[in-house]
Amino acid sequence: METAYLQDKLAGYFTWFHQHPEPGNGEVETTARIREILHDAGIEVLDGRSGGLLKTGLAARIQGKTDTPVVALRCDIDGLPITEASGLPYASRKAGFMHACGHDFHTASLLGAALLLNEGKETLEGTVKLLFQPAEEGGGGAQQVLDSHVLDDVREIYGLHVAANHASGLIGISPGGTHAGVGGFKISITGKGSHGAAPHHARDPIVAAAQLINTAQVIISRNTNPFDQGVLSFTHLEAGNTWNVIPEKALLEGTFRAFTDEKLAWIARRLQECCRAAAEAMGVTVDFSWRMYTMATNNHTALSEFAAETARALGLTVIPAEPVMGGEDFALYQKKIPGVFWTIGINSPEGAHHPGFIADMSQLSSAACFSAALARNSLARLSGKP
């Protein structure tokens, strides 16, 4: 397939996806469009027990010379609840929703990889599964995919994300963690309300919340080795509803992030200790709960080198992927399957999750060619025919 022809086709797919963003677990039209494109290309969509258990999103399969080995290419397909302000002629047609994280780019480029692999499938040394994952933005999409068992026979997995701050076309690959593990917490403080003029009759949950927020700052700034990455942010604080009453309750929420499971558990433990201390000092009851949203990504060292070599062989420029404290549920796959999560520069001055985010669509064919090459070359290596 001519590159210019492929690029044109993918730009068409991309603009359609960009115009039709849908929330995580609600990607109905998106899934239908992906299915239609794959169907028109004669690519098998996995239904029923072999991967069709997903409500939105889907998996497809391209079988080469043999059933096995199997490798997977993954993209995510969900949009975000953001009102677009990019000024693009192909801006979102759905009020309040936008593809502000490049998942439209990921989807279009993976469709491109599918077309390329399908075109040359008689020379493919195994089978490629193409995974169009729903609900990456905190909606549990990767877990749904794992529960569907579609990846059970997969030996290696590759996924991509656009890098807003990298020049167009630069490929980012690093071994180890590139996206942090993400925890979220909720703290509810119960004290005793009273008149604002009579604080001695109250057990003030607002002062307790303020004290707790300040104390918790030491977890990162004083307790953490400066060379070790971690972040803790309070993002939601709610208490009271008027100016002259001390309320009974305060609610706090927030997030903490780090690159190892141990560090995440340690931050949660320290936070809990801060809650206990505030409760005791202020005479209030503090309920603390937390959960993990995703662990950190963990790129396989040898496969990262393989991916970088594959990119260079295509004439692409490879730079180290910049670690970010944002989460990515591709990490769940990497707990079970060795894989690499790579980035491609799309040069958006406004970063991801911003209403003015714009992905440079001229890089679609490049991302598609690289994805296809990763699948093709890993199958050749796994089957001993490099």
- Which residues bind to Ni ion, rule: CB under 5 A? 101
Q: Using an 8 Å Cβ cutoff, are 273 and 158 in contact? A: no
Least distance in Å: CB of 245 to Ni ion? 43
Least distance in Å: CB of 136 to Ni ion? 6
Least distance in Å: CB of 29 to Ni ion? 19
Distances (CA, A) of 342 to 22, 161, 311, 321, 345: 24, 6, 11, 7, 10
Residue 206 has which token pair? 């607002």
Scanning 91-235, the segments in alpha helix (DSSP H) are 103-119, 141-147, 205-221
Least distance in Å: CB of 142 to Ni ion? 12
Q: Which residues pair with 63 in a beta bridge?
A: 127
In this complex, which beta carbon is closest to Ni ion, that of residue 101 or of residue 216?
A: 101
Residue 319 has which token pair? 């730079």
In this complex, which beta carbon is closest to Ni ion, that of residue 101 or of residue 369?
A: 101
Least distance in Å: CB of 61 to Ni ion? 25
Closest CA to 236 of 252, 247, 222: 252
Least distance in Å: CB of 140 to Ni ion? 15
Report the alpha-carbon distance of residue 151 to residue 268 in Å, rounded: 31
In this complex, which beta carbon is closest to Ni ion, that of residue 101 or of residue 358?
A: 101
Residue 73 has which token pair? 């290419």
In this complex, which beta carbon is closest to Ni ion, that of residue 112 or of residue 141?
A: 141
Radius of gyration of the chain (CA): 24
Least distance in Å: CB of 282 to Ni ion? 40
Residue 356 has φ and ψ, to the nearest 5°, of -100, 10
In this complex, which beta carbon is closest to Ni ion, that of residue 176 or of residue 326?
A: 326
Cite the beta strand spans of the chain per DSSP E: 44-46, 58-63, 70-76, 127-133, 154-163, 171-172, 181-190, 194-195, 230-239, 245-246, 249-258, 285-294, 318-319, 339-345
Q: Residue 177, SS3?
A: coil
Report the alpha-carbon distance of residue 286 to residue 203 in Å, rounded: 12
Least distance in Å: CB of 105 to Ni ion? 10
- How many CA atoms are closer than 13 Å to the CA of 77, on its beta-carbon side? 33
In this complex, which beta carbon is closest to Ni ion, that of residue 357 or of residue 370?
A: 357
Report the alpha-carbon distance of residue 198 to residue 192 in Å, rounded: 12
In this complex, which beta carbon is closest to Ni ion, that of residue 324 or of residue 368?
A: 324
The residue number with the shortest CB distance to Ni ion is 101
In this complex, which beta carbon is closest to Ni ion, that of residue 151 or of residue 163?
A: 163
Least distance in Å: CB of 349 to Ni ion? 18
In this complex, which beta carbon is closest to Ni ion, that of residue 282 or of residue 346?
A: 346
Report the alpha-carbon distance of residue 110 to residue 100 in Å, rounded: 18
